[in-house]
Amino acid sequence: PNIPSVDYARRDAMKVREYLVKTMGYKEGNILELYDEKATVSKIKNTLNRELKRRVTTNSDVFVYFSGHGLPETNANEPYLTTYDVVPENPNDTAYSMKELYGQLESLKARNITVVIDACFSGMSDSDSKRIIPLIKSASPVFLEVSNPLLKIRNSVVFTSSKGKQISSWYHKKQHGLFTYYFLQGLRGKADLDGSGVVTAKGMETYLSQRVPDEAMKLYSREQTPEVMGNKDMIMVKFR
């Protein structure tokens, strides 16, 4: 496509899928997946606006995961998720707006909504964790708190891998995104900080804030600070 590849994005997504089924209790047949060339803007919109909407009820728990590049729209200060067919200079038509994503998820009226984004919106790419290259000229960082209706409702939580000006890094030793690796470790129980047998969004926030910034500084001498917004009391995993 028109942007640098994301080294372990597919592996990250497939491992998250595994955890959704084996650890979080989601039914395998209810998982909708789009990888590589299938993740075009039209297919993403169709999946979220039609297929997901058709399946969700007021008793549904919805979990959305994205690993890839984020992209700022330079004029509107609006964050986008890049698609397989993205044209970086024209994100409005060829990328998927975070505002649209949040609005669509809020309209579902599901019981619980969790969004996990392993991408940065600085307009830069960590192409090989040694060299930082621009995705688009004159890009400025944007912040995911902007126009997020999910944050106004009680049953949602949003995890992002880094703050607006930061780069989201890879963890080559583990063949994962750095944030995703520790997010999965948290789901395994590392984020059950009090030994209660429950991982909450707050516990995950605390665990990620301890591990990700420290590892990013050790590996690349730069800051990466995950953010968590929304209902931090939400239970993510309950161990039996």
22 CB-near residues (< 8 Å, 6+ apart): none
Of how many residues is the chain composed? 240
Identify the H or E element spanning 67: strand 61-67
What pLDDT does residue 82 have?
84
Whether the pTM exceeds 0.85: the reply is yes
pLDDT for residue 116 is more than 50? yes
- d(C-alpha 102, C-alpha 39), whole Å: 18
- d(C-alpha 119, C-alpha 201), whole Å: 19
If DSSP codes are grouped into helix, strand and coil, which group holds residue 113?
strand
- d(C-alpha 209, C-alpha 186), whole Å: 11
**pLDDT over 90 percentage in the chain:** 55
What pLDDT does residue 153 have?
64
**pLDDT over 70 percentage in the chain:** 81
Predicted confidence band of residue 110 (pLDDT cuts 50, 70, 90) = very high
- d(C-alpha 51, C-alpha 181), whole Å: 29
Predicted confidence band of residue 46 (pLDDT cuts 50, 70, 90) = very high
What pLDDT does residue 73 have?
62
What pLDDT does residue 91 have?
77
Compute the mean pLDDT over every residue in the chain, rounded to the nearest whole number.
84
Model confidence over 66-109: pLDDT tens digits?
Answer: 998 887 766 656 788 888 888 877 778 888 888 889 888 989 88
Model confidence over 150-206: pLDDT tens digits?
Answer: 566 678 999 999 987 788 888 999 999 999 999 999 999 999 999 999 999 999 999
Q: Which of 18-22, 68-72, 116-120 has the lowest mean pLDDT?
A: 68-72
Token pair belonging to 117: 């984004």
Check residue 111 and report its DSSP letter.
Answer: S
Q: At what angle do helices 178-185 and 201-220 cross, to 10 degrees?
A: 140
Predicted confidence band of residue 217 (pLDDT cuts 50, 70, 90) = very high
How are beta strands 112-118 and 227-230 bridged, if at all? Answer: unpaired
Q: How far, in whole angstroms, is CA 126 from its chain's centroid?
A: 16
Where are the chain's structural domains?
Answer: 9-238
Check residue 29 and report its DSSP letter.
Answer: G
* Radius of gyration for the alpha carbons in the chain, expressed in angstroms and rounded: 17
Rounded to 5°, the CA angle 62-86-143 comes to 60
pLDDT for residue 2 is more than 90? no
* Cβ–Cβ under 8 Å, residues 168 and 141: no
- d(C-alpha 34, C-alpha 199), whole Å: 27
CATH number for the region 9-238 comes to 3.40.50.1460
Q: Which of 21-25, 36-40, 135-139, 185-189 has the lowest mean pLDDT?
A: 135-139
